[in-house]
Amino acid sequence: VWKFKEKLKGVVTKETGAVVKDFGGKASVLLVYPNEYAIGMGNLAVHSIYGMLNDREDVVCERAFLPSRGDLNEIARGDGELLSLESQRPASDFDAIAFTISFENDYLNILPMLSLAKMPSLARDRGASSPVIVAGGAAPTINPLPISEIFDVIFIGEFEEYYDEFCNVITGAGDKAEIISEFARMEGVFVPREGRGGRAVVGEAVSKRRFLKNLDEFRTQTRIYSDAAEFGDMHLIEAQRGCPRMCKFCATPAAYFPPRQRSGDAIVEMARGGRHYRARFGLIGADILSHPEFVEIAEAMHAMDATFSPSSVRADAIDEVKARLLAESGHRSISLGIEAGSERLRDALGKRTPDAKIIDAASTLARAGITRLRLYFMIGLPGERDEDLLAIAAVAKKIEAAVRSHAPKGSGNRIIDITISPFIPKPGTQFAKEPFVGEARIKSCVRAIKSSLIHERGMRLHFDSAMDARVEYELSNAASGMHEFLAEAAAHGVKMALGSYKNLEG
Ligand code: SF4
């Protein structure tokens, strides 16, 4: 335990921007990201909620992450427990514990963390002296039901819209039951113990979600710098929220509707502040190159003697000027979501990017010296035929040829990395009612793609696991609590949990 505490102290010592406050007279919130430190600190929600809560004089917020596997074993051997990072206090010392959850597969880490915190995982088993345990984030926003037995309260939508009310409730004099009933009166909040359940809640949750109207009102950016964090070499700035493209399979428009952009002036001003700490900016958004002021923003960042990196790029937004700016910012590789091999299937997904546009984008990037492309495709899509799988190989080969013929001499390695992920229908999307094709079909798709691409030079193939996809499907779509599944997964692993779950379903 002592070793774990020392480790946590060491982590905070290496950070810049962490807030260590006296607890006296303040409401205390433990902000939990249910995955390891590096991943959690790469997530802007953690920075933003942490900063907003600590901006209040009457609130103190500290963080907790899933300990690494080694630390977990060590804690299990001793009598350790879940501690906050900043002051190494036990989770049970806080007035409220707030989980921010972006990805459904992180639900698997909730029970192990509550067990470390020495708290019962079912809300109904936790007494009046236990902190109020709440959740929010993109995953519970599109469907709060899978974790409904665990949390006292689930916030649907964006935290900025709850900020003042949330702080007023936790800083009030109420006991746990009063805090929960105050939260229950707030618009958009889901309180599972009120007894509502079933499919209706899924649709209702997404449609009643609360969202921030104007991104410029809150500066969503890195608040704590750490070299140990994912993207820790960058100052991250949220440039866009949501996406106007509305691809039928994608959860981004569902969780973050309507699409919003931060103004160029605000982005540049945030970059100026971040430049004291980092010389590289991470621009977070679904389609950064289509920001109406992208060129001005990129040039302003270069003028600060800094570079930038967009979190996501669309092939049809690439032109010579933008490719040059990306190259000047040090990019040698770019990721493109192609999604489906054939134009027919791409059209059916609502991702209407013709082959010619993709080849054109690859050629333009190659001419600018960006010769490593990471291409993302999905398999198991609604309406998918065997020829669509072969079309993945065909379009990948055309892209490789385009890069080869347009790359300037001496521009370094040309590599096409291809990642294939199973399609997972998500609540709130236009494909919500489409089936998940199952592990057998996914494996046969993988075999077909491997045999058509495995011998191609300059291409590397990566396949996401069919079992992980199955787990994500179950955890995204369940119309009732998944506590039993999560408990089985925590005790015996996800494979066993899936087996028992399938038997249960018959
Ligand atoms: S797949 Fe990309 S472009 Fe399509 S809606 Fe999602 S974020 Fe937008």
What pLDDT digit, counting tens, does each position of 265-307 carry? 999 999 999 999 999 999 999 999 999 999 999 999 999 999 9
Cα–Cα distance measured from residue 63 to residue 84, given in angstroms and rounded to the nearest whole number: 5
pLDDT under 70: residue ranges of the chain: 1, 194-207, 502-506
pLDDT of residue 25: 92
Query: Which residue CA neighbors atom 4 of ligand 1 most closely?
Result: 247
pLDDT of residue 506: 42
Give the pLDDT confidence of 47-72 residue by residue, as tens digits. 999 999 999 999 999 999 999 888 88
Query: Which residue CA neighbors atom 2 of ligand 1 most closely?
Result: 286
Cα–Cα distance measured from residue 463 to residue 249, given in angstroms and rounded to the nearest whole number: 19
pLDDT of residue 73: 79
What does the DSSP assignment read for 171-218? HSS--HHHHHHHHHTSTTEE-GGG---SHHHHHHHHHT-B--S-GGGS
Which ligand 1 atom is at minimum distance from the Cα of 253? 5
Cα–Cα distance measured from residue 270 to residue 272, given in angstroms and rounded to the nearest whole number: 5
Residue 1: helix, strand or coil by DSSP? coil
pLDDT of residue 141: 93
Task: Tell whether ligand 1 has an atom less than 6 A from the beta carbon of residue 396.
Answer: no
Q: How many CB atoms lie within 10 A of CB 7?
A: 16
CA of 252 to the centre of ligand 1 (A): 7
Residues 340 and 363 sit within 8 Å (Cβ to Cβ): no
Which ligand 1 atom is at minimum distance from the Cα of 350? 4
Residue 134's contacts (CB-CB under 8 Å, 6 or more residues apart) are 96, 97, 98, 99, 151, 152, 153, 154, 155, 183
Task: Tell whether ligand 1 has an atom less than 6 A from the beta carbon of residue 139.
Answer: no
Which ligand 1 atom is at minimum distance from the Cα of 351? 4
List the beta bridge partners of residue 96.
29, 132
Task: Tell whether ligand 1 has an atom less than 6 A from the beta carbon of residue 432.
Answer: no
Strand 235-238 and strand 307-310: pairing? unpaired
Q: Name the residue type at position 369.
A: G
Which of 240, 241, 243 has most ligand 1 atoms within 8 Å of CB, for mutation? Answer: 243
Cα–Cα distance measured from residue 91 to residue 395, given in angstroms and rounded to the nearest whole number: 51
Task: Tell whether ligand 1 has an atom less than 6 A from the beta carbon of residue 247.
Answer: yes
Go through 475-502 and write b for each residue having 16 or more CB atoms within 10 A of its CB, e for each that does not. Answer: bbbbeebbbebbebbbeeebeebbeebe
Torsion-angle region of 438 (φ positive above 0: left; ψ -120 to 50: alpha; else: beta): left
Task: Tell whether ligand 1 has an atom less than 6 A from the beta carbon of residue 12.
Answer: no
pLDDT of residue 124: 94
CA of 479 to the centre of ligand 1 (A): 25
List the beta bridge partners of residue 238.
284
CA of 48 to the centre of ligand 1 (A): 23
pLDDT of residue 201: 61
CA of 416 to the centre of ligand 1 (A): 21
CA of 121 to the centre of ligand 1 (A): 35
Chain centre distance of CA 491: 26
What is the pTM for the complete model shown?
0.94
Task: Tell whether ligand 1 has an atom less than 6 A from the beta carbon of residue 251.
Answer: no
Which residue pairs, CB below 8 angstroms and at least 24 apart, start in 170-178?
170/27, 170/29, 170/59, 170/95, 170/96, 170/132, 171/26, 171/27, 171/56, 171/58, 171/59, 175/128, 176/128, 176/129, 176/130, 176/131, 176/132, 176/152, 177/128
Strand 153-155 and strand 333-339: pairing? unpaired
Of the candidates 48, 95, 41, 44, the one whose C-alpha atom is nearest the C-alpha of residue 66 is: 41
